[in-house]
Amino acid sequence: MPVFAQPFLALASADRLADFLAESYLAFLDQKQPRIIGIRFPIAAFNPLAILQQFEALYHHHFYFEHEADCFVALGKAIQLTVESRDRFAQTRDLITDLSGQILAVDAIGQPGPGHSRFFCNFAFFAQGESSGHRASPAAILLPRWQIEQQTDDAGRVTAWAIAHFVLHPEFSPETESQRIWQELMLIRSTPVVPPAARLPDAIRLIVPDAAPLGFALGVKRALHSIAEGQLDKIVLAKVLDITASQPFNLIGSLQNLRDRYPNCYRFSASCGSGETFIGASPERLVAVHDRQLKTEALAGSAPRGATIGEDEGFAAQLLDSDKEAREHQLVIDFITQRLASLDIQAQLAEPRLLRLPNIQHRHTPITATMPAQGHILDVVGGLHPTPAVAGWPREIACQHIPQYEDFDRGWYAAPIGWVDTQGNGEFAVGIRSALLKGNTARLFAGAGIVAGSDPEKESNEVQMKLQALLQALV
């Protein structure tokens, strides 16, 4: 129910904001209003990394997610939850659905408005108990203190908003909270739009992680033996590279490099707690849903880029003509269409094409569908993760083999990362081409799909190429 029967004066000052919060607080105490409020303020177009840099010291929790013309920066926490369960996607869906019903969304004119709050989510690759050495929470949910977003419509019109979230409680102080919100809003609005200057470590020392007892190439050989025995058709194995810098990594500079190098990829950064930050530039969308329209894609099979146009086209032709790469790609297509069908979602496939990135090119098939009336994006996320592109096939058997062939915990690597709003819209990328930063150390992740006919040396070279491309973005 609306808090006010008549239009409230525009929230154009801290005093008017305090009056609004006081009314909201009294309505909450009388149990006439939900306990969570999200106030949306209009702001000018912004640079997301400049915003992140401005508030980096103030808020220890953040989430940055950018793709094409849309970007989101989440600062601080109004509500933060973790799900320690094998049924994490369904539980996350239920938690977000419940919390969405407790949010009063208000525009800066003081009137209840459409739901505009977003929950930012990280999922670990493995659920609870599926991997020894499991560290990352199976699911992490963040409703931020500040949700700062910028979107561009099909006509090129840009809109930008800053949404302040706060939780009402018996000791809530409307005056104190209004002053804080207003000061931070002014800081957001005054943040320069120029890109931040990169300040990166001036010297990097590489540390080669112990590969014993397996090593990546040996893991590939063992996987090929399992494939030859008919235990599975495909498995995706990953490798890590641990590096140490002479000074702490500069998060903003590294993200700026990823923005510059990979403008068509999903760029992301999420604080993990304990001083860790997970960053990356993923070429792979897991799923996006907007107004019941679903988009996903099959992305599997890869080749390097060439130094010349002729060499580049030659690599592309080899990729398209390769039986091994075609089989790997078709496994992903078949899996996605079957999983969507199990959720009563009928997939429509576009013509296959090449996705070309600065250092690599992939087979790419876009897939679209219409969501059923009762469907939820997190049901799709749970149904698709992990796809054969990051796990293998059959999926369950591949996931059982992965910990046997890898000597590290994947954590958030190759897992869903993205957001869900209160209306059921959302978007998730696959957290590949990623790194975990902590102080002056970084762990870089990269993987490759192994099928019958894979060559251990060639697969080692492919993951090394991916690792080096990511390393160049960090330094």
Whole-number Å distance between alpha carbons of 313 and 440: 39
E runs forming strands in 6-137: 36-42, 62-67, 70-75, 79-83, 103-107, 118-123
Q: How far is it, in rounded angstroms, from Cα 59 to Cα 19?
A: 26
Q: CA-to-CA distance for 9 and 31, rounded, in angstroms?
A: 23
In the structure encoding, which two tokens stand for residue 203, read together?
A: 């010297």
Say how far apart CA 92 and CA 127 lie, in whole Å. Answer: 13
Known catalytic residue: 32?
no
Q: Please state, in angstroms and rounded to a whole number, the distance separating the CA atoms of residues 147 and 74.
A: 5
Pseudo-torsion of CA 328, 332, 334, 340, nearest 10°? 180
Quick count: other Cβ atoms within 10 Å of Cβ 44? 12
Cα dist. 327→215, 242, 317, 319, 354 in Å?
26, 32, 16, 11, 16
- Residue 234 annotated in active site: yes
- Contacts of residue 232, defined as CB under 8 A and 6 or more positions apart, other chains included, come to 226, 392, 393, 394, 397, 398, 401
Q: Annotated catalytic residue: which of 66, 177, 284, 427?
A: 284
Name the catalytic one among 77, 234, 239, 466. Answer: 234
Active site positions, annotated: 234, 284
